[in-house]
Amino acid sequence: MYVGADYYPEHWPEERWETDARLMKEAGLNIVRVAEFAWVNMEPEEGAYRFDWLDRAIETLGAHGIGVILGTPTAAMPAWVADKYPETLAQKKDGTRVTWGMRKNNCFTSGAYRMLSERITRAMAVHYAGNPHVAGWQTDNEIGGHEVCYCASCRRGYQDWLRRRYGTLQELNRAWGTHFWSEAFGTWGEITIPDDAAAHNPSAYLDWRRFFSDLNVEFQADQLRILRKTCPGQFVTHNFMGLFREINYYDLAEDLDFVSWDNYPVHGKPGVPYGASMAADVMRGLKKKNFWIMEQTSGTHGWGTFTRNPRPGEIRKIAYQQVARGADAMIWFRWRACTAGREQYWHGVLGHDGKPLRRYREIKQTAGEYHALAEKIEGTTLKPQAAIVYDYESHWALAAQPAYRENRYHEVLARYYDAFYRAGISVDMIRPDDDPGGYRLVLAPDLYVMPDETAARLAEYVRGGGILLTDCRSGVKDESGLCHERTLPGLLGEALGISIEEYESMPDFEYRMAGANGFDGEWTARHYADWVTPVKAEVLARYGEWHMEAFAALTRNRYGDGYGYYMGTVCGEEAFYDALAAELAEKAGIRPILAPPAGVEATMREGNGRKIVFLVNHTEEEKEVGLPFAGTELISGKKTGMSARLGRYGVAVIEIDR
């Protein structure tokens, strides 16, 4: 198993490199990422490449058995690039260029920037293609966190992209509904960049997001072509940003060997990091395979101000959560806190003093455990029976028209995701056009953009025996961002057994909500309400107000061999979603691995005839976890009994007896 840190040898005197390599080896590290921000060190002036310093650093690391991942350095241009080619800097909405001095400030349609990026990538690839210490490559750094550029070149690029997508202006005008507000275009050159999601044509804004995403994917593809041709024996990955929404990560991941991502869940007071778990499942879903952690929390972090410090044992349990979710490599950011620049407060395994103290010792312990576990977990992954549809295009479209103020995509998904997490049931995150047939249960919340093909696929899934849940604002728009000319829920109406003729936002009032037909409980409906008419569906929750008596809040419908559920509001109580998750799991025949106590995460990786359960205590209290199976706790090597006791931030890794 690869275990390592992100290392910046250019930040430190060369005589320190040997000390760093020795400390890394003593801590059990065997991989580092280097050079992703070292463009000016490798090309101090145009066309003059200097790799001698990096060669020596790699040799020093290699002598201690530490391999390297090389980052292409195109996320931070040297000053000479901006000075010689000012058009490479992104342009702001007001027409001025951004000021050089920050990373990720380039224009992606700049021919000069694309040329210079390809040159440095090719020079690195040629130089390091045969280096035995180079394990692989990382493209750029956190693609998508760049400035959005509004220059004439980007506008022309957007117009060309639209021409390729729609073919004719007549089709574009139809798809965007430009009969509204006299927005019809007579020439491609009239099309502007929709720079305000809240004001511009929502269909134009959706296509602008698609264009910007494609532009970033295309930029990476330029580097991939070079690396694949020049370094065929070395892997290529990229460090994604979890739940980042600006880029369609399915597209960005497609041509990579595997996905890596950067995980920083230490914010506010300690709690259960549901978001880090969901992000890991999204990352695993991008290529339907395990992932790497390329940057993992190793200390307090921030630029001008910083977060709280990870508490003793917390760095270890944060890392175990990711291994439990499918991480096959763990790389901490960063090796040592830098003494200069904007990230002086982004602390690492070592502090500014370079001494191996508490964080170093915790990471050394964790690395040693990972190496001992490596043989057992190799070839294993999660195999959930439930999935949540995760859709970037719905996310973008909702940014322009959320319908109700609190309709924030990740929060909507989290209501359901967190309930399954608490129940000990893992889920996959899948794209809207994936075949749902491999899952017993599929949730499609807030699936705002729903082409007819997607609706037909989901309906057929239910008919064939699947369990589907969808909810408010799903199926509203077609792929162009136009509202479907149908009564909601459109083509899913028969599968769900309902009709929605009216709906409302609830910014300053609530409804009472009561369970029915065996789904017992009393709750609060807030933020939004579909006035759901049950046509064939069974009502599981009703509204309490007089004018809502004819309408349902939650329904269940038998359709073919399956069931379609519809949730038409937002419930204010967490307990409601726990009850709903239990109902859905029971109907789908999904049983949790075990019943975890509050604050304990339970997952299972399986493969090669093994089933390995991970228990992670995210609290500062001791927890007792009942075990419905016999096995061996792999960290201690001891046989398990009827339960496992987890201390503060404790972890157990249990191989179930065959």
Query: What is the set of active-site residues?
Result: 142, 295
The phi, psi pair for 413, rounded to 5°, reads -60, -35
Q: Where are the beta strands (DSSP E) in 535-647?
A: 538-543, 552-559, 562-567, 569-571, 600-607, 610-617, 623-626, 631-633, 638-639, 643-646
CA count, 13 A, side-chain hemisphere, 209: 24
Please list, in sequence order, all residues whose beta carbon lies within 8 angstroms of the beta carbon of residue 304, skipping any fewer than 6 positions away: 345
- List all residues 6 or more positions away from 84 whose beta carbon is below 8 Å from its beta carbon: 46
Backbone angles phi, psi at 150, to 5 degrees: -120, 30
**R_g of the chain, CA atoms, integer Å:** 26
562 forms beta bridges with 559
Structure letter (DSSP) for residue 48: B
Tokens of 652: 């157990």
Distance CA 298, CA 157 (A): 41
- Torsion sign across C-alpha atoms 244, 248, 252, 258: positive
Q: Show the CA angle centred on residue 264, arms to residues 259 and 268, nearest 5°.
A: 155
Taking the CA of residue 591 as centre, how many other CA atoms within 13 Å lie in the half-sphere pointing to its CB?
A: 3
Strand, coil or helix: what is 614?
Answer: strand
Which class for 636: exposed (0-12), middle (13-18), buried (19 or more C-beta within 10 A)? exposed
If one counts every other C-beta atom within 10 angstroms of the C-beta of residue 628, the result is: 11
